[in-house]
């Protein structure tokens, strides 16, 4: 039986993309759950549907069928506005391409989600700058940073609203092994602090350090 | 949000600059035209109101051209017989009939043309703004000349001086100098009517008669009667104003059309700039959506960009208009009847307000579709590779 305390719970999730005449079943009947504090790695070959599944977990998209609940409440079928609020308040996103705004400084990028809330927490940005070890870079632009540093900025930004869980799509996909190792270490530290993490990865070392792995193939969970 | 929009704009400084400049030029043009039109119209009315005249008697021919020339103090090819003045003065409704004989005197050596105007003592009553400088008086004899302030300055004459006109071989005594009034009177030479007629060898002829009625309400009757005067026709002040405005209006309509076209082009250019910016940042917008920016937030972001761009154009356009305003004014003065008698303000507040409103509309309409398009961007875009 699926526990009530799970942060993410998916039941028979299915996502079908309509591409011209043919339908692509990107996610096919996927069920799983993630407990609080768990570090889950989603692995599988290219085109297996990992990113699509992450979009569903991240309430960026509605599933074609099936149920998704986050922190105990059902999210499939929510309005765009409600999904946006959910993303803002409960989920931290980390992308393969970092997704920083090139025009903003490190500190401004980290504080970006705070633009939308009344409270202007300077302290929170400062705290996170220290946390990811980039306090000395706060006024630099992304173009002046290494890939590893950019990803640390992105992680700090993902954490600024104190999300319930972190969602990462190949966070080390654009990094060399040294920087990958540093990001992995940061994830492990966050996991130690009690953060729930769901990450899609091709990096074997990364997957091995997770509590559990979910392997997808052709949209289906194979293990 | 504004800072974010601004940073997006200066990301492509050249594109932004070009768009802003285009809009600014178009607006400067429009502001100038509207301001000029308003100032000209207001000035014209004030001037004619001050004269307290309701109509003019001019020679047969194109009445409006004649009226314009007389008012501007230019000479006329045709003229009125002096008997028209008697007819006007004997009309029961006429309070004051002021004869004018105006003639130009080319001064090739000095590179200018002087305006000599023959008037009688009614001139002073018809022009309440005339003020004599210290030591001045009105005509004291046949050889008196009353100088406008600019005319006195160019001729270096003060009241009491002698003044010789080589072209006519006549010698005058400066009886007075007028204080600066900002009207075309400033540059004219006023002499007794008979003297002017003799100087230009047109004894007994007039270029026009300005008429003030006892009761302006009797305009219709009086003009019907005066229309019967032989060789003369009546032009009412209302007609004159209408014609001058039409004259200005035709030129204005043309420039206005150009301005409207330029503004439309600028609006398209604003649209293009904002749309290109929104398309370029597709994934960036997806990321903003993913991390919690709502559709409304994205719409606002892009719309603010468009507004900021347009307002920037508006501000620059206003500055340009102030600079260019002086040039437009001097250009217009040399081409328009009566313009020189009107103090044209380079910019009117209402013109600036109208144009800023227009800029807001341009910014909103040009930004609307790009903003909508951007707000439809799916947050899932953030996860896709490039
Ligand atoms: N927006 C879309 N429209 C149509 N088909 C799509 C769309 N997004 C993904 N797909 C298809 O769905 C399937 C799963 O894609 P997805 O991106 O989820 O795979 P993935 O496991 O993340 O692959 P990769 O490891 O290469 O990132 C693929 O066949 C892909 O072509
Ligand atoms: Mg993927």
Give tens-digit pLDDT for A110-164. 999 988 876 667 789 999 999 999 999 999 999 999 999 999 999 999 999 999 9
Query: Is residue B89 within 8 Å of residue B229, measured between CB atoms?
Result: no
Length, in residues, of chain B: 386
pLDDT over 50 (residue B340): no
In a domain, B173, yes or no: yes
In a domain, B161, yes or no: yes
In a domain, B189, yes or no: yes
Residues B279, B137 share a domain: no
Q: What is the DSSP string of B32-70?
A: HHHHHHHHHHHHHHHHHHHHT--EEEEESS-HHHHHHHH
Quote the pLDDT of residue B110: 80
Residue with CA at minimum distance from ligand 1 atom 22: A51
Give phi and psi for A69, each to the nearest 5.
-130, 145
Q: Which residues of A touch B285 (CB under 8 A)?
A: none
- Cα(B85)–Cα(B206) distance, integer angstroms: 9
Residues B363, B303 share a domain: yes
Tell me the mean pLDDT per 10 residues along chain A, length 223: 74 92 92 95 94 94 92 88 93 94 94 81 89 94 95 96 94 93 94 95 93 94 87
Which one of A112, A157, A162 makes the best mutation probe of the B interface by having the most chain B beta carbons within 10 Å?
A: A112
Query: Is residue B102 within 8 Å of residue B202, measured between CB atoms?
Result: no
Burial grade of B115 (CB within 10 A; 0-12, 13-18, 19 or more): buried
Residues B305, B221 share a domain: no
Residues B106, B194 share a domain: yes
Sheet of A165-169: strands edge to edge? A91-94, A165-169, A196-200, A39-43, A212-217, A220-221
Domain count, chain B: 2
With an 8 Å Cβ cutoff, are A99 and B290 in contact?
Answer: yes
With an 8 Å Cβ cutoff, are B293 and A80 in contact?
Answer: no
Residues B10, B66 share a domain: no
Q: Provide the H-helix boundaries in chain A.
A: 50-57, 80-90, 106-111, 122-131, 147-159, 177-192, 204-209
Query: Is residue A124 within 8 Å of residue A156, measured between CB atoms?
Result: no
Q: What percent of chain B has pLDDT over 90?
A: 27
Closest by alpha carbon to B377, among B292, B304, B302, B289? B289
Interface A-B: count of C-beta contacts within 8 A: 79
Closest by alpha carbon to B277, among B8, B18, B22? B8
- Cα(B214)–Cα(B337) distance, integer angstroms: 28
CB A222 less than 6 A from any atom of ligand 1: no
CA distance between the termini of chain A: 18
In a domain, B54, yes or no: no
Distance from residue A87's CA to the centre of ligand 2 (Å): 19
Give tens-digit pLDDT for B63-121. 666 666 666 555 566 788 888 899 899 999 999 999 999 888 888 888 788 889 999 98
Query: Is residue B81 within 8 Å of residue B231, measured between CB atoms?
Result: yes
Residues 6+ away with beta carbon under 8 Å from A220? A28, A29, A30
Residues 6+ away with beta carbon under 8 Å from B156? none
Residues B170, B102 share a domain: yes
Q: Which residues of A touch B282 (CB under 8 A)?
A: none
Residues B185, B275 share a domain: no
In a domain, B55, yes or no: no
Q: What architecture is domain A36-62+77-221?
A: 3-Layer(aba) Sandwich (3.40)
Q: Which domain holds residue B266?
A: 2-46+244-383
| Chain A nearest C-alpha distance from B356 (Å) | 29
Closest by alpha carbon to B338, among B36, B47, B32, B35? B47
Average pLDDT estimate for B279-288: 91
Residue entry with tokens 């009761």: B215
Residues B293, B226 share a domain: no
Quote the pLDDT of residue B326: 67
CB A46 less than 6 A from any atom of ligand 1: yes
CA dihedral B27, B32, B34, B40 (to 10 degrees): 180
Residues B224, B301 share a domain: no
So what's the ipTM on this one?
0.93
Quote the pLDDT of residue B192: 95
């Amino acid at each position: 039986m699926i526990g009530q305390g799970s942060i993410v719970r998916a039941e028979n999730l299915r996502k079908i993309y309509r591409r011209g005449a043919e339908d692509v079943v990107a996610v096919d009947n996927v069920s799983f759950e993630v407990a609080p504090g768990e570090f889950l790695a989603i692995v599988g070959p290219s085109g297996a549907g990992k990113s699509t599944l992450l979009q569903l977990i991240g309430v960026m998209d509605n599933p074609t069928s099936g149920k998704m609940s986050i922190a105990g409440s059902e999210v499939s079928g929510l309005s765009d506005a409600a999904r946006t609020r959910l993303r803002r308040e409960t989920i931290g996103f980390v992308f393969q391409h970092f997704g920083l705004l090139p025009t903003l400084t490190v500190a401004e990028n980290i504080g970006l989600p705070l633009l939308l809330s009344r409270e202007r927490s300077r302290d929170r940005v400062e705290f996170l700058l220290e946390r990811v070890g980039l306090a000395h870079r706060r006024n630099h632009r992304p173009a002046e940073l290494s890939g590893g540093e950019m990803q640390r900025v992105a992680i700090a930004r993902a954490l600024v609203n104190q999300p319930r869980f972190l969602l990462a799509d190949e966070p080390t996909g654009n990094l060399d092994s040294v920087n990958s190792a540093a990001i992995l270490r940061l994830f492990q530290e966050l996991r130690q602090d009690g953060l729930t993490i769901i990450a899609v990865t091709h990096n074997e070392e990364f997957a091995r350090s997770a509590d559990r792995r979910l392997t997808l193939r052709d949209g289906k969970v194979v293990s | 949000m504004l800072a974010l929009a601004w940073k997006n704009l200066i990301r492509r400084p050249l594109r932004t600059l070009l768009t802003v400049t285009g809009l600014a030029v178009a607006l400067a043009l429009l502001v100038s035209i509207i301001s000029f039109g308003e100032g000209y119209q207001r000035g014209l009315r004030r001037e004619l109101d001050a004269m307290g005249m309701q109509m003019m008697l001019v020679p047969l021919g194109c009445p409006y051209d004649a009226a314009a020339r007389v008012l501007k103090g230019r000479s006329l090819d045709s003229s009125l017989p002096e008997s028209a003045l008697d007819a006007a003065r004997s009309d029961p409704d006429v309070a004051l009939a002021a004869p004018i004989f105006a003639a130009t005197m080319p001064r090739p050596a000095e590179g200018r043309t002087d305006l000599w105007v023959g008037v009688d003592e009614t001139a002073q009553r018809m022009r309440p703004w005339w003020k004599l400088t210290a030591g001045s008086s009105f005509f004291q004899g046949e050889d008196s000349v009353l100088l406008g302030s600019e005319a006195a300055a160019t001729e270096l004459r003060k009241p009491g001086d002698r003044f010789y006109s080589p072209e006519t071989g006549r010698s005058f005594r400066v009886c007075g100098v007028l204080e600066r009034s900002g009207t075309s009177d400033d540059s004219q030479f006023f002499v007794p009517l008979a003297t002017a007629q003799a100087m230009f060898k047109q004894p007994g002829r007039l270029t026009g008669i300005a008429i003030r009625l006892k009761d302006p309400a009797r305009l219709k009757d009086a003009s019907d009667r005066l229309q019967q005067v032989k060789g003369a026709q009546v032009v009412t002040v209302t007609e004159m104003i209408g014609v001058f405005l039409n004259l200005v209006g035709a030129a204005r309509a043309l420039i206005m059309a150009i301005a409207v076209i330029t503004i439309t082009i600028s609006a398209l250019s604003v649209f293009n700039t904002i749309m290109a910016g929104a398309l370029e940042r597709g994934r960036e917008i997806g990321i903003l959506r993913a991390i919690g920016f709502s559709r409304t937030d994205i719409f606002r972001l892009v719309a603010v960009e468009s507004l900021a761009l347009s307002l920037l154009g508006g501000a620059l356009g206003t500055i340009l208009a102030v600079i260019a305003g002086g040039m437009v004014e001097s250009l217009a003065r040399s081409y328009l009847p009566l313009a020189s008698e009107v103090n044209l303000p380079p910019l009117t507040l209402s013109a600036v307000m109208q144009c800023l409103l227009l800029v807001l509309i341009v910014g909103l309409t040009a930004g609307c579709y790009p903003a909508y398009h951007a707000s439809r961007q799916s947050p899932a875009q953030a996860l896709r590779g490039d």
